[in-house]
Structure 1
């Protein structure tokens, strides 16, 4: 009985600090996130981090692809939106393909992995973050993903 309880506690501890993601659009959105990897996680200050977005596109998505980021930090009074400063934070970009230079563009129908590198500088406060990313193509095709429990530590 004690070993069974120990295994449950170990399992809960392993899951406790894990980020989560969900598609926040509709099932008919052209772009759906199927898997996410943040490496390393928790993110360390300073460090280089890679967000690996595993997406499934039901059709080709042609540029420009407007990209809106809403970044929030968890605080004792609730989530506070991080403003866009020098292209970092809750920013809107005219084209995903310009923003994510390592991503393949246009986004072709089918499954693909988009590796999005990010630098975590010493100016980033430690804590827990969430981000909502909304994509809208020139022809109105959409995708939306929300990532929560992103940890930043020293």
Structure 2
């Protein structure tokens, strides 16, 4: 999976608030069960000459139940290697009275700047001999560096477990934009919109 597909994973991690217990202890988290995520859509939001682009991304069913199983497929490409010191600028907004309001960065959740996506990936997927399934079977890498080229994840099922979310990250329409960069240069941009109901 190329770095831009990993951007989707990283945005998902930011959305779900996945952190270890020490990092979450001061957040007002609540256990989310029987939540529904619906209206998922995405688009590339970068320049036409950005080297990293998402070519397809599909999640089903609609709505997605939490906890529950979702089916995902994706493809993307990068014309440059994606190596250490990849940065990620995330802008998260919630629709309030038909106005998009920016959610500030609170303990690494919200509109945050992540200096090292490669390190973040190592926290989410601890380095080891093999990447987790279905990445391993599909021959997709899960850690930096990512070689230039095209990557594809065929339709695969994933289980979404119960999760803890900040109290403010429920019941509403959300828009999340992630800009991947390196050395001050934009490499790619992805925007995701969805609704959460719990």
Answer whether TM exceeds 0.5 for this pair: yes
Q: State how far apart, in whole Å, the 2-side matches of 1:93 and 1:74 are.
A: 24
Q: Tell me what 2:87 maps to.
A: 66
- CA change 1:61–1:95 in 2 (3 A) is same
Q: Tell me what 1:90 maps to.
A: 111
CA contact (8 A) 2:179 2:186 kept: no
Is 1:25 paired with 2:70? no
1:121 counterpart SS class: strand
Report how far residue 34 of structure 1 moved. 1.2
Q: Tell me what 1:137 maps to.
A: 182
CA contact (8 A) 2:179 2:189 kept: yes
CA contact (8 A) 1:40 1:49 kept: yes
1:98 counterpart SS class: helix
- CA change 1:139–1:71 in 2 (3 A) is closer
Q: State how far apart, in whole Å, the 2-side matches of 1:86 and 1:52 are.
A: 30
Q: State how far apart, in whole Å, the 1-side matches of 2:176 and 2:92 are.
A: 4
Query: Which runs of 5 or more residues in structure 1 are unaligned?
Result: 1-16
- Which among 133, 139, 148 is matched to residue 109 of structure 1? 148
CA contact (8 A) 1:59 1:109 kept: yes
CA contact (8 A) 1:66 1:135 kept: yes
Q: State how far apart, in whole Å, the 1-side matches of 2:42 and 2:66 are.
A: 22
Tell me which moved more, 41-50 or 128-137: 41-50
CA contact (8 A) 1:43 1:153 kept: no
Is 1:153 paired with 2:197? yes
- CA change 1:39–1:91 in 2 (3 A) is farther
1:7-22 pair list within 5 angstroms: 17-22=38-43
Q: Tell me what 1:12 maps to.
A: none
2:101 counterpart SS class: strand
Normalised TM-score (structure 2): 0.56
CA contact (8 A) 2:85 2:115 kept: yes
Q: State how far apart, in whole Å, the 2-side matches of 1:139 and 1:48 are.
A: 38
Aligned residues: 135
Q: Tell me what 1:6 maps to.
A: none
